[in-house]
Amino acid sequence: MRTVIGGIDFGTSNSTVGLAQDERAGLVPLEGDETTLPSAIFFSFDGDRARFGREAITNYADGVEGRLMRALKSVLGSSLVNEKTRIQKRSMAFIDIVGLFIAELKRRTEAFAEAPFESAVLGRPVHFVDDDAHADRKAQDELEKAARAQGFTDIAFQYEPIAAALDYEQAVRGEETVLIVDMGGGTSDFSIVRVSPERARAADRKDDILANRGVHIGGTDFDRLVSIAHVMPELGYLTPTKDGKRNLPAGYFIDLATWHRINLLYTPKAMNDLRQIRFEAARPDLVERMITIVDHRLGHALAGTVEQAKIALTDADETVIAMPYDIATPRLTRRDFDQTIAQAVQRVAATVSATIEDAGLSAGDITAVFLTGGSTAIPAARQAILQLVPQARVVDGDRFGSVGMGLALEARRKFG
């Protein structure tokens, strides 16, 4: 029986699948004509059916009764991965929900290819978890276990920025030393790789990889920072207790601002705690707003408005963060946004500098910068990186497809 081989880019915000095709690779249309599938699952309470991608987000936005899960990749390597969340009358571990999404990627690929899809290279960030080798290895093992449970028999891993380098190499005509920048929803990863048409034919590329680094900062972190700074104060964050001796506990506000922790608020215990916080608050009216948002399961909708504001500031100088009910709508300028994410951007830039140093190169030795991942569109992040290598040629790749294409090329090398 004919089978297909390919690569899976399971992303924090979006996922793609690439299939090896002769000497090149192509992306699978996963949702209509779209080659990206938002990494989202919606569990409808009407018939207990799971919906995926844009359909999941649309169902949630339309007010269909159910539970939305996003940023699933962020639970890998964390204490959340084996915890269970309540979905109507049953409980599911987060790792099993990850498995459901991978199963859907496999199902849609097989429907497109009309053949079994059992051999895959899975993309992974340079670090699932910063500064914790054990947790990082655990995260990869969890992802492999989830994939095998869905019927994948041959599994390999490749760093996502290396996969992007393999995609970029398809278009080069001579020898280059390229800085690969892959800034996605959950991580920012960097590699310095020697590429050329001749090197592309080599079976072993280990010596061409000069350096690899990553940091657990991405688009969802920028969302969280904006929400904490500009939205959560409207819900009582950092306001004092009525005795004036301390500020209200921050934990639930941080959860509401963090994509993969929002569902933790939808429990009886969390609601009871919020009511106690309201009782202790000097501004109970603000905490009441928080309670209303949680009670109506509007956490993901609120995070979505923050994300849209971030995206709007890619081109605009000012935007608004749409708030539910009668809550004041914060205005957010590009300058506000840049200041809010400044420390995170500085960590990203420092990681790029360290990657160049690890390679034993100077900035002038980098001939090109290849940019992929949705967060490379953020002006402050993009500028901070590019000013480190001012002489390099800048190449914008497919922000959401380069890694999946490169993983397919790697799959052909490993399994073809």
Q: How far is CA 379 from CA 241, 317, 353, 386, 397, in A?
A: 39, 11, 18, 10, 16
Alpha helices in 83-241 (DSSP H): 94-113, 133-149, 160-169, 219-226
pTM recorded for the entire structure: 0.91
Backbone CA torsion sign across 158, 54, 400, 323: negative
Q: What is the pLDDT of residues 137-156, one digit of tens each?
A: 999 999 999 999 999 999 99
Which portions of the chain are predicted below pLDDT 70? 1
- Residue pair 65/46 in contact (Cβ under 8 Å)? The answer is yes
Q: How far is CA 95 from CA 81, 92, 136, 217, 407, in A?
A: 5, 8, 15, 22, 23
Residue 229: CB atoms within 10 Å: 19
Residue (of 286, 259, 226, 310) closest to 68 by Cα position: 259
SS3 for 264? helix
Q: Which residue has the tokens 């020697």?
A: 194
Which domains, and CATH codes, for the chain? 4-160+404-415 (3.30.420.40)
pLDDT of residue 45: 84
Backbone CA torsion sign across 111, 116, 121, 124: positive
What Rg do the C-alpha atoms of the chain give, in angstroms? 22
pLDDT of residue 92: 86
pLDDT of residue 47: 73
pLDDT of residue 152: 97
CA 128 to CA 246: how far, in whole Å?
35
Q: Which amino acid is at 201?
A: R
Q: Which residue has the tokens 């940019």?
A: 371
